[in-house]
Amino acid sequence: MIPVYLASSSPRRRALLEQVGLPFTVVEPRVEEEMDEQLPPHRLVEKLALRKASSVARQLTGGLVVAADTVVVLGDRVLGKPADAAEAISMLSLLAGNVHEVYTGLAVMEPPPGRRVVTHERTRVRFRPLTAEEIVNYVATGEPLDKAGAYAAQGLGAIFIAGIEGCYFNVVGLPLARLATVLQEFGLNLLRLSRENGVLPA
């Protein structure tokens, strides 16, 4: 099997790859997540994902690198990870009672000068109205502080979500259906891999 390297320090992305039974090695990218707000959101996340994948690919001589980057978009505002609790409160106050979009850029590439595929997924998320007390109490848990948009759909933040249109796993940080389709372009079929190698989700 082709060795797969995940260019991410995110425990959520690691858990999702484990969920679909894909063996992988984590190699953290050496990049700064700089937000270029001049780019449309889908191009921004593609650029950031490609930058992460390229950083890791340069350290390798073979295999396949998978990288992703996620942002939350409300109107014309791009929300990345909050810098502190105050910014998390501000972000959640904006999202409360509104519909926002989650974009994840996905980059899969062979170490240079190999092939690469860069794409993205978009999901619409509707938050129910939130009280100031709910927001403050949620931020006090610490969960929002390393999450794009200051919430975790797979965690306690789930109680704020009134509806989702599109890929749920995209909101968590890695659109699995799109990833499976891209991996097939590189000769990796997740269903066949699990069956042939006995690599099955827990």
Point out the residues that are catalytic. Answer: 69
DSSP letters of 67-85?
EEEEEEEETTEEE-S-SSH
State the Cα–Cα distance between residues 139 and 85, nearest whole angstrom: 6
* Contact partners, residue 171, CB within 8 Å, separation at least 6: 102, 123, 125, 153, 164
